[in-house]
């Protein structure tokens, strides 16, 4: 009897599907939009998968999609504390003092963030963004790697702004064990 149930689940599309998508800038993390903006439908042709969490329209990088509700909950629910690593290009040459503040936790309007793992990194070897980030000749930019275990709305952007270095470009590099390594922007890979 168990074998029949397993076969039935497979035939009705209930086998677990997990895919990694390297989301481009200016794409919504949903499949429909009544304002005719770019959505996941423009890039992903696999039915019945849904984004596990969100990634803002003006952010890029890793998005996990699945048909597994438990996995979706584990990734998206802040109480699960699944680590997410971001690469942030910030306005100005970030200081060690600002990095230390990010590591300790930053006071935002909705409360103190949990401590983050933060380090300054060289500019990562990533795709060109369209449109490009604005550059000002007299103000440098720098990059940080920031790992958090929360999921507040626009949290990384608000954290870097709170320490005086607003985010110009934000790329989610990693969720749990998954990364965007070897995954071109706008492409996905089924696990």
Residue 147, both tokens: 């790992």
- Using alpha carbons, list the distances in angstroms from residue 98 to 30, 92, 154, 165, 166: 34, 11, 18, 8, 11
> Do 108 and 171 touch, CB atoms closer than 8 A?
no
In the predicted model, what is the mean pLDDT of residues 123-142? 87
Give the chain's end-to-end CA distance (angstroms, integer): 29
Residue 18, both tokens: 């997990």
In the predicted model, what is the mean pLDDT of residues 101-113? 95
Closest CA to 126 of 181, 78, 165: 181
pLDDT digit string (tens) for 51-105? 998 899 999 999 999 999 999 988 888 777 789 999 999 999 999 999 999 999 9
- Strand-pair category, 84-91 with 111-112: unpaired
In the predicted model, what is the mean pLDDT of residues 32-58? 94
pTM given for the model:
0.89
Q: Whole-angstrom Cα distance, residue 47 to residue 41?
A: 10
Q: What does the pLDDT read at residue 151?
A: 79
Q: What does the pLDDT read at residue 4?
A: 38
DSSP-derived 3-state class of residue 3: helix
Catalytic residue ranges = 56
- Strand-pair category, 84-91 with 107-108: unpaired
In the predicted model, what is the mean pLDDT of residues 171-179? 96
> Do 53 and 30 touch, CB atoms closer than 8 A?
no
- Other CB atoms within a 10 A radius of the CB of residue 23 amount to 26
Q: Residue 97: which H helix or E strand, with range? A: helix 96-104
């Amino acid at each position: 009897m168990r074998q029949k149930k397993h076969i039935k689940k497979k035939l009705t599309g209930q086998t677990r599907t997990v895919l990694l998508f390297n989301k481009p800038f200016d794409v919504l993390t949903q499949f429909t939009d009544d304002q005719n903006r770019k959505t996941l439908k423009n890039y992903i042709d696999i039915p019945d998968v849904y984004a596990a969490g969100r990634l803002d329209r003006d952010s890029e990088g890793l998005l996990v999609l699945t048909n597994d509700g438990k996995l979706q909950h584990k990734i998206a629910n802040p109480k699960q504390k699944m680590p997410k690593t971001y690469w942030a290009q910030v306005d100005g040459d970030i200081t060690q003092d600002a990095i230390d503040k990010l590591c300790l936790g930053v006071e935002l309007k909705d409360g103190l963030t949990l401590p983050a793992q933060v380090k300054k990194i060289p500019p990562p070897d990533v795709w060109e963004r369209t449109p490009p980030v604005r550059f000002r000749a007299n103000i440098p930019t720098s990059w940080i790697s920031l790992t958090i275990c929360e999921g507040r709305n626009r949290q990384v952007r608000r954290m870097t702004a709170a320490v005086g270095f607003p985010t110009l470009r934000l790329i989610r590099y990693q969720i749990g064990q998954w990364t965007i390594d070897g995954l071109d922007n706008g492409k996905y890979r089924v696990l």
